């Protein structure tokens, strides 16, 4: 990741801390109005966390797809190079006999 972006492990820890805080808030609410307000706030936090997880998962998948494409291209080049060497050797042998 970039220099300013936290690692996946840090994000997972942060999400775990937020979830623990949310659980703590839910268990220690004083009144029903606090409960309603806190529930709305928690709902927004949960949506934001879900969006972050989705975005990170998509980013990781995009990187994995790009790496697979690079690997496939390298594999194809390896076989093309081998085939060109084989054709050169065959051409050299045929040239000697002609």
Of 75, 56, 79, nearest in space to 67 by CA:
75
Rounded Cα–Cα distance for residues 21 and 25 (Å): 6
Per-residue pLDDT of the chain (98 residues; tens, 9 = 90+): 455 677 788 788 888 888 888 777 777 765 666 667 777 888 888 888 888 888 888 888 888 899 999 999 988 888 888 888 888 888 888 887 77
Stated pTM of the model: 0.46
Rounded Cα–Cα distance for residues 41 and 25 (Å): 11
Contact (CB, 8 A) for 11 and 56? yes
Contact (CB, 8 A) for 42 and 25? yes
Rounded Cα–Cα distance for residues 64 and 76 (Å): 18
- Cα-only R_g, the chain: 28
């Amino acid at each position: 990741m970039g220099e300013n972006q936290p690692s996946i492990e840090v994000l997972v820890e942060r999400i775990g801390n937020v979830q623990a805080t949310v659980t703590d808030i839910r268990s220690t609410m004083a009144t029903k109005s606090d409960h309603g307000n806190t529930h709305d706030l928690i709902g927004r936090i949960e949506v934001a966390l879900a969006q972050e997880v989705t975005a990170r998962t998509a980013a990781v998948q995009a990187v994995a797809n790009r790496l697979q494409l690079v690997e496939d291209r390298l594999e194809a080049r390896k076989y093309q190079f081998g085939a060109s060497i084989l054709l050169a050797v065959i051409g050299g042998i045929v040239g000697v006999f002609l």
